[in-house]
Amino acid sequence: MRLQERAMNLRKYVSWWAVATGAAIGVAAALLSHYGNPPDGGLTVICFERDTAGALSLHTFGHHPFLRPEIFALVFGAFAAALLTRSFKALSAPSAALQFGVGALISFGALLFMG
């Protein structure tokens, strides 16, 4: 397959809107880390959960125990986007217990990796 044909196939699957959004989120994460967020958690949801648990006194190891304002921005931004695109509907998982278990293992691994 020639390079030009590969580029045409790639254009079918990659939207420039998605690339621009990913780049903006990456820049925002770097800026958040530079301007005061912990260096190990620029824009990671598991770090937000850890900090929220510390703010609610669910743990006492003293690692950034405060409510992060990015949490509210993410939740309200997602809610506004769902309302604007009229795609706000509740969905249920086929196996909620399995998804919860896998999510807990991934969260544990992420926190263990970050130290």
3-state SS, one letter per residue, for 35-67? CCCCCCCCCCHHHHHHHHHHHCCCCCCCCCCCC
The answer, as to whether pTM is greater than 0.75, is no
Residue 56 has pLDDT above 70, yes or no: yes
The type of residue at 3 is L
Read off the pLDDT of residues 16-47 as tens digits, 9 standing for 90 and up.
777 788 888 888 878 877 777 766 666 677 77
Rounded (5°) CA angle 40-53-64: 40
Residues 71 and 23 reside in one and the same domain: no
Residues 32 and 60 reside in one and the same domain: no
C-alpha distances out from residue 40 to 46, 74, 88, Å: 11, 19, 33
Residues 55 and 22 reside in one and the same domain: no
Average pLDDT over residues 80-86: 82
Terminal-residue alpha carbon distance, the chain = 45
Residues 57 and 21 reside in one and the same domain: no
Residues 31 and 47 reside in one and the same domain: no
Which pLDDT score, from 0 to 100, does residue 25 have? Answer: 81
Enclosing domain of residue 18: 1-36
Which pLDDT score, from 0 to 100, does residue 109 have? Answer: 85
